[in-house]
Structure 1
Amino acid sequence: MGLERDPRSLRYDNLMREIGEFGKFQKLLCVLLTLSAAPNGYFALCIVFVGRSPKFACFEPSGNEYRDQSVYIESHTPNNSTQHSPQSVFNDTCNDFGCPYGYLYEVEEGRTSIVTEWNLVCERKWINPLITSLYMGGVLIGSLLTGAFSDKFGRYPTFMTGTVLMFISFGLCGTAPSPTVFAIFFSVAGLVTMVNYITAFIMAAEMINTKDRAMTGTLVVGGFAMGYMLLPLFAYLVGDWRHLCFVLASTGICFIPYFWLMTESPRWLYTKNKTDEFNKLFHKIAKTNGVTKARTEQLLKAFHQESDHIPENKSMIADDASTIVADAATRFHDRRYSFLDLFLIKSVLPRTLCMWCVWFVCSVIYYGVAFNTSNMGRNPYINCFIAAAVEIPAYAAVVLLLKRHGRKPILISTLLGSGLTCAAVPFLETRSTTAAVVAAMIGKFAVSAAFNVAFIVCSELFPTLMRSMGVGSSSMAARVGGMVAPYLLYMGDSYPSIPYLMMGSLGVAASLLCVGLPETKSRAIPETVGDLEPMTCICCQITKMKKSPSLPEHIDVEHEHALLD
């Protein structure tokens, strides 16, 4: 059975139930956090249009023709009409003798990108993917910093700082005079975007209790998809890449009211023993949810009186050994955790490794399929919209399934489904292109659902004071997957079946790793290390401990006491 939950944690959950688990305050917060995720969607994918690489040809000033290995290329006259010469195609071929007079790009008038402005083709072609990699590197760093900053300084200041810097940095991208400056601004934008996104998800998990937690987490991820769907609309209406950056950054004006509407996480305040701030916020939540002031004062008084005493009722504690561990866990509230604790504490290590693997695989499959869907047709705006739109039914399905089924079986089945469908793509492609595309989109649907569930599961697996680090480090693993995906697709130029077979294998392997995860549905999230349930998945075998007759198997008491001393 394991150890009963820390009495402090139980008292907190019971207190919040008294003023409404999903009342008016929580519903407003849910709406705000969902909307805050939308900019992450169009900022994260804006490089699709900002860094778009159109077909090109070398410019030849001697006439209305363009030189490319003695082949006449489609030429555009000043009045925008099109003339076709023999073999009139933009074939993106770089000449050995170079293009000393510049390039002609197959784009509509007024539509630009960093590629067309700075001629990032031929010998400068490597700069464009490098910029994307640097953005993902910024996202990776943001994943690491988010946990430490939000745990130390609080969820609210971290969230608001990330939000403000996100809009400023993307605005600065539009002013960049060179690829180098743009790369710097863009990488910073990736960093602060992830700070905003991860903190929003953590706040949603901590402000909402048990049964409604899955829905709110799904809505936050859905907000990202809505922003992703808005991107092609913005890009279609605003053709110039600099103006697109400015327009996207200007949407930050809509988020100014967040300074007054958002609040700190009451769970974080309670865990950090910030009593005065917790009481003030508790009054605000109770008032918004329609609880009278007298009732609120009564609840707080009883709550603090109980918190000042160690419970004497032996029925609350499993046995004498559990009493020792529970007391250690209570005192563990006061210690500060570091990133290394994700590996040093044996009951946390398997959670860390398993979530890292799951997030990495989800990211590889998600971006691998998403990047390849641009080949579905000729219109990049429609392609982008379809790639985003397929995520909405995936998130809706997750909301419905999570109400009836646990997190664990859904995560396993979606990972397995994405892996199997991706693995089928190369075989279907030899018979029917349409069937291969359908399989790829089913895989995108499944991995989008898996990514959503992984967010929820990860936020529920780690104790409160390590939750930000757990989610942040897992997101870091996902960013590494995002950097791997383009190179995996690059291998497809020489070996067409390799990318999807690799993604399929990774999906199946990740589903097997999740077999031993504890179920978190309808259970209060852990407050301390002592609240963690044991895991039996494959990655746990490296930390398997000999069963003790007196202490629960999953608690490394000697190590925790050493840290306390």
Structure 2
Amino acid sequence: TVPGVLCLPLWWFIPESPRWLISQRRFSEAESIIQKAAKMNNIAAPRVIFDPMELQELKLPGQQKVLILDLFRTRNIATITIMSLLLWMLTSVGYFALSLNAPNLHGDAYLNCFLSALIEVPAYITAWLLLRKLPRRYIIAGVLFLGGGVLLLIQFIPADYNFLSIGLVMLGKFGITSAFSMLYVFTAELYPTPVRNMAVGVTSMASRVGSIIAPYFVYLGAYNRVLPYIVMGSLTVFIGIITLFFPESFGMTLPETLEQMEKVKGFRFRKKPRDSVQKEENPKVLITSF
């Protein structure tokens, strides 16, 4: 835990969220941060971002006390929350079970643990590249299908082909690690500002539950060496299917309030055309169309 102390100086370097500063009516600080961000990205920002006259007329919502029960306020929000809890927990089960089971693979235990850790480097890089260009739910589902699918193939590998089994395990770890790293971004984009931190915290707690029960999946190897991979692969493919039913957040206007999140339509399969006036008055926040 000692290296965590090195993060303390970041308090003075990481800027505050402009959106939060605006909600607190600290407009000058928000404008300064936006100007600095524009300069770093070589974007010519206007000298005055917030018009003082407009700021006087701006009506900001009052401070609303949010509770953990707000994550289950309506059917739509509760559905997204329950699916998020399952997604985090089962992804964590696969991640930690594969990590803990690395010494049990054939061959040198130290080499297997090293490979299990090494494969995470390209997994994180791949996740970063995919998040920049592609829809969230499809890429998360895709890497989960990859990870779960190769784990299910291990049962068909002859015992003599140990190197092939290890390769499939590492490929499965690659897919699950990529998905795990994407969940932080995806979950934060699903929820509005008032409950965003709470939602990430609650779902992250669900992943800790997954890490607690992960060793019991490893113990299944005492009955059959491929049984842990069959169970983990099946659960990973299952949660990959569940991911397809999430709303899409890539390229969408993120919800600002719980009221906006309540308007998210559930599992529609066709988008209806809207005229320009409707789009202006009711912008698309999140969609769930396939």
Same fold (TM over 0.5): yes
Give the structure 1 partner of residue 25 of structure 2: 275
Any idea what SS the aligned residue of 1:521 has? coil
Any idea what SS the aligned residue of 1:363 has? helix
2:9 to 233, 257, 261: 257
- Is 1:455 the equivalent of 2:189? no
2:108 to 374, 378, 384: 378
Q: Distance in 2 between matches of 1:404 and 1:295?
A: 28
Give the alignment's Cα RMSD to 1 decimal: 2.7
8 A Cα contact 1:279 1:300, kept in partner: no
Q: Could you say if the C-alpha distance between residues 300 and 370 of structure 1 is closer, same or farther in structure 2, counting changes exceeding 3 Å?
A: farther
Give the structure 2 partner of residue 301 of structure 1: 52
Which residues of 2 match residues 229-248 of structure 1 at below 5 A? none
Give the structure 1 partner of residue 277 of structure 2: none
Q: Distance in 1 between matches of 2:139 and 2:92?
A: 17
8 A Cα contact 1:419 1:505, kept in partner: yes
Matched to 2:265, the amino acid is P
Q: Distance in 1 between matches of 2:47 and 2:17?
A: 18
- 1:243-276, Cα deviation, whole Å (9 max, x unpaired): xxxxxx1x45644532321333222333xx3113
- Is 1:353 the equivalent of 2:82? yes
> Once the two structures are aligned, what percentage of the paired residues are identical?
31
8 A Cα contact 2:18 2:34, kept in partner: no
- Is 1:470 the equivalent of 2:199? yes
Which residues of 2 match residues 59-458 of structure 1 at below 5 A? 170=1, 249=2, 251-252=3-4, 254-270=6-22, 273-276=23-26, 278-287=27-36, 289-290=38-39, 295-297=46-48, 299-301=50-52, 304-305=55-56, 307-308=58-59, 334-376=63-105, 377-378=107-108, 380=110, 382-458=111-187
**TM-aligned CA deviation for residue 384 of structure 1:** 3.7
Q: Could you say if the C-alpha distance between residues 300 and 388 of structure 1 is closer, same or farther in structure 2, counting changes exceeding 3 Å?
A: farther
Structure 1: gaps spanning 5 or more residues: 1-169, 171-248, 309-329, 538-551, 553-565
Q: Could you say if the C-alpha distance between residues 426 and 486 of structure 1 is closer, same or farther in structure 2, counting changes exceeding 3 Å?
A: same
Give the structure 1 partner of residue 279 of structure 2: none
**TM-aligned CA deviation for residue 392 of structure 1:** 1.8
Q: Could you say if the C-alpha distance between residues 298 and 352 of structure 1 is closer, same or farther in structure 2, counting changes exceeding 3 Å?
A: closer
Structure 2: gaps spanning 5 or more residues: 269-281, 283-290
**TM-aligned CA deviation for residue 454 of structure 1:** 2.0
Greater relative contact order (Cα < 8 A, sep 6+):
2
- Is 1:534 the equivalent of 2:265? yes
- 1:493-526, Cα deviation, whole Å (9 max, x unpaired): 1233321111111112111212221211122321
Q: Could you say if the C-alpha distance between residues 290 and 439 of structure 1 is closer, same or farther in structure 2, counting changes exceeding 3 Å?
A: closer
Give the structure 2 partner of residue 316 of structure 1: none
Any idea what SS the aligned residue of 1:534 has? coil
So what's the TM-score if we normalise by structure 2? 0.80
Q: Distance in 2 between matches of 1:288 and 1:520?
A: 23
8 A Cα contact 1:415 1:511, kept in partner: yes
8 A Cα contact 1:362 1:450, kept in partner: yes
8 A Cα contact 2:31 2:49, kept in partner: no
Q: How many residues were matched structurally?
A: 262
8 A Cα contact 1:429 1:435, kept in partner: no
Bigger-Rg structure (1/2) = 1
Q: Distance in 2 between matches of 1:341 and 1:253?
A: 33
8 A Cα contact 1:411 1:450, kept in partner: yes
Any idea what SS the aligned residue of 1:299 has? coil
